[in-house]
A and B are shown apart, each in its own frame.
Chain A
Amino acid sequence: MSRPEVPPLPLNIPGLRLMGQVLLLLVALFATQAQALPVYARQTGQNCLACHAGGQFPELTPYGRMFKMTGYTIGTRTEVPLSVMGVATDAFVANTNQGSVALANTDKNAQPVFAAGSVFLAGKISDNTGGFAQATYNNYDSQDPNGNSHGYLRSDNMDFRYADHLIDQERDLIYGVSLNNHPSVTDPWNTAAAWMQYVPAASTAAYQFADATTPFPQTAAPANTAGLTTYLFWNRHLYAEAGTYRTANGLLSLLSFNNTDAQTPHLAGGWNPYWRLAWSQEWGAHNLMVGASGMVAHLYDGNDTTSAANLGTARTSGLDMQYQYLLDPHTVTAQLVYNHQETQYSPATFAASPAAALTGVPAMDSTNLIRAKLSYVYEAKYGGSLAFFSSHGSANVQGLPDTKGYTWEAFFMPVQYVRVGLQFTGYQTYAGATTNYDGLGRSAGDNNTLMLYVWGAY
């Protein structure tokens, strides 16, 4: 792969100073609490790194996975089952011009911003039940026609469980049921679609690139769903999960608040199956997982859920692999994901597309995605990672999805609840082209983004 040029940095000195102040404040705040989720750490009384590999959220250790699979029930019920997380960022996009005007959503480029914050309600409820519920406030969630950004609080990952663990000389079986709001959010491994991501990522509308819009391992489900899955983990080797998703409405709409509007596709009916199989092997300080997963989603475009002309289908299937080496002071993780998605468009969408006027163009598209990430953390304090992504697909109805590039990150954790990082994402191909991908002269490398961040949680 030829390396995209590193962009010249539009260094903004006052901005950096403010960023420094935010950083100092956060460090001071957290250093006094010298003691992933902080509420889980309070529940078990353990340090975050017992559950999070080298203290990197959200990546789990084998113990963290068992903690999740046993329904977040290890430990003691905490009096205040709450955690908060916040991130301040300063991102620099290589080129913010599109033709002769400023590119949309880049007005906060090169400015330090409080990007987003989350609240978590989480922990043990009883000996067999526990949960994880996150709501995220994105300060630059969306822009109005005048270009002003608006913040929104929206439902994020949610997972409520009943679990039991049968263990003695003869058998070791964990099984459980989860009510959750996203396919694969229940998964214990971090190569799952819902979890393989950089946290934080430059996801605000203010600078729309960086890792957030790099191809994601997909599941064929929108953000307004609720699902019931059941799973088992046998002899610390075989993990199997199956369930189905539907649109989160009625009582279940709590699981999707502010994530449902007229444009969001809606799952049709209650049979949108999700499945997952994985094999895990531990030896010495190493552990390896090889797995597969898939989903079939019947989707209405938007919220007109009565007309069959609006109904399409998306099928996803994927293979994933994760290797970890965990022995103080070293944490090594390697992740690899392949994902294939086939979208069968609804008759209405197809009829409205230029493809309908041509002969022999099928009403479907497929996308293939490969993502790989290697990370290393020393003493749960200093860390870095390198990731590659490449998506490739057909363009019968959709635009060319081809996007290819890499992300690197270096970070430092002065205390276990604070991380300061520098992240760079470089694009070789963006939306199907290396140069002039938008017809207005932007090239893929114009989207290269450098981001400085301070992340904290309590």
Chain B
Amino acid sequence: MKKPLFLSALGLSLLAAGCANLQHSRNVADPAVPAKVLAEQVCSTCHGLDGNPVSPAFPRLAAQTPAYLTSQLNNFRGHGRSDPAGSEYMWGLSSHLTDEQIAGFAAYYAAQEAHRDPGAGKDAALLARGKDVFEKGVPEQNVMACATCHGPKAAGNDVFPRLAYQHADYIVKQLSVFQNTHGGRPGTPMAAIVFPLPEDAKEAVAAYLEAMPD
């Protein structure tokens, strides 16, 4: 290869440096970039293109209720949700989002179909216990039935988030966050509800929600 090729490549990239490419932009601080573009270019690397991530390190967003998605993105942007993973991963990406972009994300993920992890729900005894907690609560500990708010099949409703097919690991982590007064998700009914929830019941209900048998 000859030197001119190198130089023209260098020149080209300098030229490109000035340009914006709104349809393929990864700029989370540009209000002109549509939410769908950011969902594809940025969010998909962790949450999956359709909101169904491969890794349980990232929550499933597919089919989540728009009201809940909006509230969480607002909470990340305003630092109202400060659990460690929330601040480490989501504060920076959301800090410059506009209300319009947030509404766009909510509509985008709510319209996707949620998938169940193929490996979910192997332990029948755990599922049975989880179903019990979900549908009846833990009366002896004064824990309300989860289904009351999250819906009989955990499909969510308005501000009550969808939990069906969510990664069990993420659910257990959030329940611990709610149980901790300084956990970083204040101002929700969840803290009072799950405060007395025993550890084994957390694991069981999470396993049940992840599998959510038909």
User: Are A and B co-members of a single complex?
Assistant: yes
Asked if B7 CB lies within 8 Å of chain A CBs, one says yes
Between A and B, how many residue pairs show CB distances below 8 Å?
A: 135
Q: Known A75-B28, A177-B9, A284-B56; judge A126-B17 contact (CB<8 A).
A: yes
A-contacting residues, B89-110, CB 8 Å: 89, 91-93, 95-96
B56 touches A228 (CB 8 A): no
B98 CB, min distance to chain A CBs, angstroms: 14
Q: Is the CB of B41 within 8 A of A327?
A: no
User: Known interface pairs A244-B1, A326-B55, A326-B57. Does A252 touch B40 (Cβ–Cβ under 8 Å)?
Assistant: no
Nearest chain B CB to A140 CB, angstrom units: 34
Decide yes or no: A129 and B16 within 8 Å by CB, A74-B26, A167-B44 being known contacts: yes
Q: Which of B31-62 contact A (CB under 8 A)?
A: 40-42, 44-46, 49, 54-57
Could you say which interface size class chain B belongs to?
35 or more
Is there a chain A Cβ closer than 8 Å to B122's Cβ?
no
B contact residues around A271 at 8 Å (CB): 1
Bound state CA distance, A161 and B17, in angstroms? 10
Q: When chains A and B are docked, how far (Å) is the Cα of A169 from the Cα of B26?
A: 18
- Contacting residues, chain B, for A45 (C-beta < 8 A): 28, 91-93, 95
Q: Bound state CA distance, A49 and B85, in angstroms?
A: 10
* A144 in contact (CB, < 8 A): no
CA A285 – CA B53 in complex, angstroms? 10
Q: Does B189 interact with chain A (Cβ within 8 Å)?
A: no
Q: Which of A44-74 contact B (CB under 8 A)?
A: 44-47, 49-50, 62-63, 66-67, 70, 73-74
Give chain B's interface secondary structure class.
helix
A127 part of interface (Cβ distance < 8 Å) = yes
CA gap between A207 and B101 in the complex, in Å: 55
Q: Does B27 contact A (CB under 8 A)?
A: yes
Binding site for A on B (CB under 8 A): 1-3, 5-7, 9-10, 12-13, 16-22, 24-29, 40-42, 44-46, 49, 54-57, 85, 87-89, 91-93, 95-96, 117, 119, 169, 173
Apart from the given pairs A70-B26, A74-B26, A270-B1, 13 other A-B contacts in the complex at a CB distance below 8 Å: A44-B93, A50-B89, A74-B28, A74-B41, A76-B27, A76-B96, A124-B27, A127-B22, A128-B21, A161-B13, A179-B13, A252-B3, A284-B55
Nearest first, the 7 closest Cβ-Cβ pairs linking A and B are: A45-B92, A47-B88, A270-B1, A76-B29, A127-B21, A66-B45, A74-B26
Which A residues lie at the B interface, using CB under 8 A?
41, 44-47, 49-50, 62-63, 66-67, 70, 73-77, 124-129, 160-162, 164-169, 172, 177, 179, 226, 228, 244, 246, 250-252, 270-271, 282-285, 326-328
